[in-house]
A = this chain, B = another copy of it.
Amino acid sequence: MCQLLGMNCNVPTDICFSFAGFRARGGLTDHHRDGWGIAFFEGRGVRVFLDPAPSAHSPVAELVNRYPIRSLNVIAHIRKATQGDIRLENTHPFQRELWGRYWIFAHNGNLKDFAPRLSGRFLPVGSTDSELAFCHLLDTLAARFPAGKPAPAELHAALRELAREIGSRGEFNFLLSDGDWLFAHCSSRLCYIVRRAPFAEAHLADEDLTVDFRRLTGPQDRVAVIATTPLTDNEHWAQIPPGNLVAFRDGETVTLGETATVAQDYPRRGDDRSASA
């Protein structure tokens, strides 16, 4: 299995602290050695750093750790291969363009007997179930909304339906972003934290590294971090209940139409606020 890391903020933020702990799981504190990748949205643009080498020893990861790229939406992935060889084309996150926007996708899980019919508009380049699921997802969205990106509630409802359909084939935790929204689907394991004022210190679970967010943030800053398992050991992370798709924007969960029972029911916002304190 793999590990996911996402970030969604209301001001451009670097992910150096979280990434330091996350990358250690790629061959140092954990066994996800089969490549890694990270995508940073900056405006409508996106840059994706990929490396089929273990993240703990990757010179590209070293760069990402040292070069603070500030972004509103980040998706990262470290891989423990289940389907598809260890090759660059099987390295997450994957990128496609739809409706004049880039879409970035990373998956943790394993889909079995999954062979959706594709129109040909989006085709996988590699051989993972993950990229196939991403193509099916975009293919369906493109066919359903040919005029362009629908309203957020419609998009969320369509993604939720698709996540349920694909998720019936196996474990399907994923992160998806178009640079505006970050969608997090939990099929088995995915948690998040929203950091906002009053900020506090955070200590990594995978490395002995502490950061004092009071020194790095403004009072209006809001940063949501999503990960397969908690990245820090002194903060409260909220588990996303399996079967739910959470929409993040501007560093917080957003209730979208009638589909947003997740954000309303669990986790409650109050939990996050106190957790960051």
Contacts and interface: CB of A to CB of B under 8 A. Distances in A.
A219 interface: no
A40 to B, nearest CB: 9
Minimum-distance CB pairs A-B, first 4 = A45-B88, A45-B89, A100-B123, A44-B89
A90 B97 CA distance: 14
Interface stretch (A58-66, A184-192, A247-255): A58-66
Interface string A34-67: 0000000011111111111000000110010011
A85 to B, nearest CB: 9
A60 B50 contact: no
| Copies held by the complex | 2
A96 interface: yes
A63 B237 CA distance: 35
Interface of A: 42-52, 59-60, 63, 66-67, 87-91, 95-97, 99-102, 120-126, 146
Contacts of A101: 125
Given A95-B95, A120-B146, A126 B44 contact: yes
Give the interface centre of A48, A66, A90, A122 by most chain B CB atoms within 10 Å.
A48
B49 A126 contact: no
Contacts of A95: 95
Contacts of A46: 88-89
A45 B97 contact: no
Contact of A60 (B63, B96, B121): B63
Contact of A87 (B45, B122, B126): B45
Contacts of A97: 96, 122-123, 125
Contact of A45 (B44, B50, B59, B96): B50
A45 B91 contact: yes
A23 to B, nearest CB: 15
13 contacts: A43-B88, A44-B89, A44-B125, A45-B88, A45-B89, A45-B126, A47-B51, A60-B67, A97-B122, A99-B123, A100-B124, A102-B125, A120-B146
B45 A90 contact: yes
A238 B267 CA distance: 65
Nearest to A101: B125
A172 B241 CA distance: 53
